[in-house]
Amino acid sequence: MERQGLGFTFYGPGLSRLCELEFKTSMNHRLLRVKELIRRELGTIMERHVTFPGALVTIHDVDITPDLKQCFIFVGVLGGEGDPREAVYKLNDMRVTLQRELFKRVILKNSPTLHFKYDNSIERGVKILHAIENLPEPLPEGEYDDSRVMDDDDDVEKGDDKKS
């Protein structure tokens, strides 16, 4: 087994896998850095160039393909009247302008095509929190409510269904 400097020399089994793992890890790290850079720069561009009356549009996540050809931006809309997806339609209509502004600031070998998607994870989280808040109070220890428990008599036997 031998491995030398930056120009790797491989001898023996397992070393090529190690190098491949290091390459994938460095590529994943690069993709994470590119994703964060696109999210940050696109947020400032949207803040300056795009208006949404009465609504706050935020970038929740950016997902980019490993070949840097496609970039999916997940946005959430808070407030505003009407369908929040209208903001996503507006962003997709302005996609070419936003891409041009973004890639003036972010220099990449391949400039990915931007695709805006609606992300309703905040709304789902709020619904879950409301459901948790509206749960009935737990019974104090030692008290037991028989009305919630199903008796054995309430069960339907599988054999009864087949005979009818």
pTM: 0.63
Look at residue 114 in the predicted model and tell me its pLDDT.
92
* DSSP H or E stretch at residue 73: strand 70-79
Confirm if 96 and 69 have CB atoms less than 8 A apart. no
The structural domains of the chain, ordered by start, are 15-134 (3.30.300.20)
Closest CA to 73 of 119, 116, 118: 116
Look at residue 155 in the predicted model and tell me its pLDDT.
54
Look at residue 40 in the predicted model and tell me its pLDDT.
92
Look at residue 12 in the predicted model and tell me its pLDDT.
44
Give 86: exposed, middle or buried? Use CB within 10 Å, 0-12, 13-18, 19+.
Answer: middle
Vertex 10 angle, CA 6 and 14, to 5°: 115
Look at residue 16 in the predicted model and tell me its pLDDT.
46
Listed in sequence order, the DSSP H helices in the chain are 15-49, 85-93, 95-105, 121-133, 158-163
User: Block means of pLDDT (10 residues each) for the chain, length 164 residues?
Assistant: 44 46 65 90 89 84 89 86 82 91 85 89 86 82 63 54 48
